[in-house]
């Protein structure tokens, strides 16, 4: 299955946050939208970084409550793995496993942000694919 098909099913909306926003703003957006990561982008089209719940928790240990007033640039990852809508879900799952990442932004050929895929999306897609394969095999066996 291609990433574009997965996005067609789950939707292509991406929650973004500006670099100048505070970690408190990021926490509020994560909670409000029920997502595990935000794409850091000043224009909503190009990726400056990504910040996840894990980033918040890991830095919270060091900076305590003072972290909330800091800029998201303090905790974001600026090197972001991305994928294309034409990539297949299976290769993305390998990338996510190898790099130990849970969220991958999707960009078009021009580098414009068009979606985001989580590890949960990948697992759900794979489970649905396995169920379809099982159903076909059961139908084949019963038809004989």
Q: Which long-range contacts (CB under 8 A, 24 or more apart) does 22-26 make?
A: 22/68, 22/69, 22/70, 22/71, 22/72, 23/56, 23/59, 23/67, 23/68, 23/69, 23/70, 23/71, 23/72, 23/74, 23/75, 24/68, 24/69, 25/72, 26/51, 26/56, 26/72
- Please report the pLDDT score of residue 133 as a whole number: 81
Cα–Cα nearest to 126, from 79, 75, 92? 92
Band of pLDDT at residue 29, cut at 50, 70 and 90: very high
Q: Which CATH number fits the domain 3-143, given the four candidates 3.30.2130.10, 3.40.50.1820, 3.30.565.10, 3.10.580.10? A: 3.10.580.10
What's the mean pLDDT when you consider all of the chain? 93
Q: DSSP class of residue 115? A: E
Sketch the domain layout of the chain as residue ranges. 3-143
Q: Is the pTM of this model over 0.85?
A: yes
């Amino acid at each position: 299955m291609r990433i574009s098909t997965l996005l067609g099913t789950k939707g292509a909306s991406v929650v973004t946050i500006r670099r100048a926003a505070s970690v408190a703003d990021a926490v509020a957006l994560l909670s409000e939208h029920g997502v595990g990561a935000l794409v850091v982008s000043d224009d909503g089209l190009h990726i400056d970084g990504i910040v996840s719940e894990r980033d918040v928790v890991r830095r919270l240990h060091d900076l305590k409550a003072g972290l909330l007033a800091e800029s998201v640039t303090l905790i974001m990852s600026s090197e972001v793995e991305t994928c294309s809508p034409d990539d297949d879900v299976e290769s993305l799952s390998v990338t996510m496993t190898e790099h130990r990442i849970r969220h991958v932004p999707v960009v078009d050929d021009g580098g414009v942000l068009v979606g985001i895929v989580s590890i949960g999306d990948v697992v759900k897609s794979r489970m649905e694919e396995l169920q379809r394969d099982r159903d076909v095999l059961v139908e084949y066996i019963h038809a004989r």
